[in-house]
Structure 1
Amino acid sequence: MINFAIVGIGHISKKHIEAIQAIPEASLLAICDTNPARLEEFSGICKTYTDLKEMLETLPELDVVNICVPSGAHASLTTLCAQYKKHIIVEKPMALKLEDCEKMIQSAKENGVKLAVVHPNRFRPAIVMLQKQIEEGKFGTLSHANATVRWNRNQAYYDQAPWRGTKEFDGGVLMNQAIHDIDLMLWLMGPVESVQAMATTRLRKIEAEDVAAAVLQFKNGALGIIEAATTIYPKNLEESLAIFGEKASVKISGRTANYIETWDIEGQTDEDRIKVVKEVELDPFGKPGHQWIIEDMVDAIKNNHEPVVSGNDGLAPVKLILAILESAETGKKILL
C-alpha cells in the first residue's frame, strides 16, 4: 500500500481524494491545510494537520505528498517534502517561475524522490488516439497546430480569493487554463524554437492577462497558434486542439477538448473514421486523468521508473508561457 497525503483543500483536491480512494494500492493517510475549518469534514476519514512540517515529521510511513495549494507556493512546499524524502505530485502549473521549476526538479533529484506534475488531459481517450497516430508516423511531416481556449471566468471567479489572478500566486489565462492545451501541443509537436505573442488584461480586474495570442515555430519547422481567453460571454464556448500534417488532419474539440470534430488520415476508410468517432463519443472522458497520474506514481515507486508526466514535462509549458509573456511585454520574438 502506498500512503498519500494532500496539502491544500480546495476544488482540485477533491479530484485527488476521489482518485486515491479509487485505487486499491493507494491509501489517503492525511490532509493538511492552514485553515482548520476546512479540515473538519475529513476528521473521520484520515489524519489532519494545519502544519506541513509537523505532518512530515510525524508520519514516517507517508510515501507521497500531493500539492494542491496556489501555484506560487508549489516550489517551497515541493522542496520541503523532498527534503523529508517524500515523493511528490504537484498540480499544474508546477511553478510560475523557471528558476522555481528547476529548483523543484533538482531537489527531487538530490533527495532521490519522484516528482510528477498533474497534466491530466494527456489521458483523454481522443488525445490518446491522436498521440498514437502521430507516434506511428500517420501524419507524415507535421505542418502546424492550433490550440484554442475560449472560456468564461467571470469576475466572481477571481474574487473568490485574493490570490486569484495575481502574478505571484496564480497567473492568468495561460498558466491557469491554456496550460493544459499548451502541454498537449508540446507533447505532440515537440519543442518550440521561437515565439511571437500579444497578451492583455482586457475585461477582468486582475493583475495577470485574461486574453493572449501567440505564434510559434517548432524546432521541427512546423508552426503553431495559441489563442486563449477567459473573457468569453456568457459561458465556456470552446476548447480545441488541431494538428495538421501532410497525410492527416485531426481536430479535437467541444466546450472541453473531449470530442473528435475532424479525423481524416490517409489510408483510413470512412468506416475507420466513424468507428473512432463513435468510440470516443461512448466514453469521451475515460478514466479520470488524476487517477492515471496517481496510479502511475504508485507503479513508479514500486517498479522504480520515472513518472509518466515528470518534472521536466511540467517545466516545458511553463517555459513556453513565460516566453509568450516576455514577447507580449517586449514586442519581440523570443528564442527558446
Structure 2
Amino acid sequence: MIKFAIVGMGHIANKHIQAIDQIDNAQVAAVCDTNIDRLKEFEGKYPIYKDLEDMLQKQTDIDVVNICVPSGLHAPLAKIVASYGKHIILEKPMALNCDDSMEIIDAAKRANVKLSIVHPNRFRPVIQLLQETMSKGMLGKLSHANITVRWNRGQEYYDQAAWRGTKQYDGGVLMNQAIHNIDLLLWLMGPVKSVQAMSATRLRNIETEDVALGVVEFESGALGVIEAATTIYKENLEESIAIFGEKGSVKISGKNANYIETWNIEGISDEKRDEYIDRIKEDPFGKPGHQCIIEDMVTAIKEDRQPVVSGNDGLAPIQLIEAMLKSSETGERIILGKEKEI
C-alpha cells in the first residue's frame, strides 16, 4: 500500500483525493493546511495537520506527498518533503521560475526521491492519439504549430484569494492557465530554440499578464504560435492545438481541447478518420489525468523508475514562459539557454 499525504486543501486537492480513492494499493494517509477552517472539512476522515514538518515527523509511513499549495510556495515545500525522503507529486506549475524549478529537481535527486509534475492533459484520449500518430512520423516534416487558450477568468476569480494573479505566488495566464498547453506543445514538437513575445494586463486588476502572444522557433526548424488570454467575454471560448506537416494537418479543439476538429493525414481514409472522431466523442475525457499521474507514481515506486512526467518535463514549459516574459519586457527575441539576445 502506497500512502499519500496532501498539502494544501484548496479546490485542486479534491481531485487528488478522488484519484487516490480510485487506485488499488493507494490511500490518503494525512492532509495538511495552515488554514484550520479548510481542515475542518476533513476532520474524522484523515489525520489532519497544520504544519508540514510536524506531519512528516509524526507519520513516518507516508510514501508520497502531493503538493497543492499556491505555486509560489512549491519550491520551499518540495525541498522540505525531499529532505524527509518522501516522493513528490507537484501541481503545475512546478515553480514560478527556472531557478526554483532546478532547485526542486536537485533536491529530489540528492534525496533519491521520485518527482512527478501534474500535467494531466497529456492523458486526454485525443492527445494520446495525436502523440502516437506523431511518434510514428505520420505528419512528415513539420512546418508549424499553434496553441490557443481563449478563456474567461473574471475579476471575481482573481478576488477569491489574495495570492491569485500575483507575481510572487500565482503567475499570469501563461504560467497558470496556458502552461498545460505549452507542455503539450513542447511534448509534441520538441525543444524551442528561440521565442519573441508580447504580453499585457488589459482587463483584470492583477499584477500579472491576462493576455500574451508568442512566436517560437523549434530546434527542428518548425515554427509555432502561442496565444493565451483570460479576457474572453463572457465565458471560455476555445482551447486548441493545431499541428501542420508535409503529410498532415491536425487540429484538436473545443472548450477544453478534447475533440478532433481536423484530421487530414496521408494514408488515413475518411472512414478511419470518422472512426477516430466518433471514438473520441464517446469518451472525450477518458480516465482523469490526475488519476493517471498518481497511478504512474505508484507504479514508478514499485518498478523503481522515473515517473512519466518528470521534473525535467515540468521545467521545460517554465523555461519557455520565463523567456516569453523576458521577451515581452525587453522587446527582444530570446535564445533559450543562452544569455545573449538577438
Shorter-chain TM-score above 0.5: yes
Deviation, 1:329, is 0.3
Aligned-residue offset at 1:184: 0.0
1:34 maps to 2:34: yes
Q: Structure 2: 5+ residue runs without aligned partners? A: 337-342
Give the structure 1 partner of residue 340 of structure 2: none
- Aligned positions, number: 336
Could you tell me the TM-score, scaled by structure 2's length?
Answer: 0.98
Of the structure 1 ranges 229-238 and 35-44, higher mean CA displacement relative to structure 2 is found in 35-44
Tell me which amino acid in the other structure corresponds to 2:109: K
> Secondary structure of the equivalent of 2:249?
strand
Q: Distance in 2 between matches of 1:196 and 1:51?
A: 42
- The answer for the alignment partner of 1:78 in structure 2 is 78
Q: Which residue of 2 aligns with 1:297?
A: 297
Alignment of 1:90-109 (within 5 A): 90-109=90-109
- In the alignment, the residues of structure 2 paired with residue 292 and residue 331 of structure 1 have an alpha-carbon distance, to the nearest angstrom, of 40
User: Could you tell me how far apart the structure 2 residues matched to 1:138 and 1:118 are?
Assistant: 28
| 1:220 matched residue in structure 2 | 220
Q: CA deviation at 1:208?
A: 0.2
SS in 2 for 1:42: coil
SS at match of 2:41: helix
**2:175 alignment partner AA:** M
CA displacement at 1:209 relative to structure 2: 0.1
Partner of 1:199: 199
Q: Which residue identity does 1:196 align to in structure 2?
A: Q
Partner residue, 2:258? 258
* Structure 1 letter corresponding to 2:139: F
The answer for the alignment partner of 1:247 in structure 2 is 247
Q: In structure 1, what is the Cα distance between the partners aligned to 2:3 and 2:85? A: 13
SS of residue paired to 2:121: helix
1:45 CA displacement = 1.5
Which residue is 1:4 aligned to?
4
1:34 positional shift = 0.3
Superposed, 1:283-294 pairs within 5 Å as: 283-294=283-294
Separation (CA, whole Å) in 2 of partners of 1:196 and 1:129: 30
1:250-293 Cα offsets, whole Å, 9 max, x none, are 10000110010001110010110000000000000000000000
CA distance in 2, matches of 1:177, 1:128: 21
What are the residue-to-residue correspondences of 1:117-266 with 2, within 5 Å?
Answer: 117-266=117-266
Partner of 1:16: 16
Deviations 1:176-219 (A, max 9, x none): 00001000000000000000000000000000000000000000
Q: Note the C-alpha offset of 1:46.
A: 1.1
Task: Provide the residue aligned with 1:67 in structure 2.
Answer: 67
Deviation at 1:11, TM superposition (A): 1.0
Residue matched to 2:312: 312
Residue identity in the other structure for 2:272: D
Give the AA of the match of 2:103: K
Quick one: which amino acid aligns to residue 139 of structure 1? L
**Partner of residue 52, structure 1:** 52
> Is 1:268–2:268 an aligned residue pair?
yes
Q: Give the match for residue 89 of structure 1.
A: 89
Deviations 1:143-163 (A, max 9, x none): 110000000000000001111
Cα drift, residue 20 of structure 1: 0.5
Alpha-carbon offset, residue 24 of structure 1:
1.2
Q: 1:91 is aligned with what amino acid? A: E
**Amino acid corresponding to residue 230 of structure 1 in structure 2:** T
CA distance in 2, matches of 1:180, 1:151: 13
Q: Give the Cα separation in 2 of the matches to 1:250 and 1:11.
A: 33
Q: 2:41 and 2:203 mapped to 1: Cα distance?
A: 37
Please give the alpha-carbon distance, in whole angstroms, between the structure 2 residues aligned to 1:188 and 1:106.
26
Q: TM-score, normalised by structure 1?
A: 1.00
Cα distance in structure 1, aligned partners of 2:274 and 2:245: 20
Aligned equivalents of 1:37, 1:234: Cα separation in 2: 32
Output the CA distance in 1 between the equivalents of 2:268 and 2:163: 49
Q: Report the AA paired with residue 211 of structure 2.
A: V
Q: Which amino acid aligns with 1:157?
A: Y
Letter in 2 for 1:216: V
Partner Cα distance (1:208, 1:275) in 2:
43
Give the aligned CA root-mean-square deviation in angstroms: 0.5
Name the SS of the counterpart of 2:214 in structure 1. Answer: strand
SS of residue matched to 1:279: helix
Deviation (angstroms), 1:43: 1.5
Q: Determine what percentage of the aligned residue pairs are the same residue.
A: 65
CA distance in 2, matches of 1:299, 1:72: 29
Distance in 2 (alpha carbons) for counterparts of 1:102 and 1:334:
20
Tell me, which stretches of 5 or more residues in structure 1 are unaligned?
none
2: distance between equivalents of 1:11 and 1:237?
Answer: 23
Distance 1:265 1:314 in 2: 30
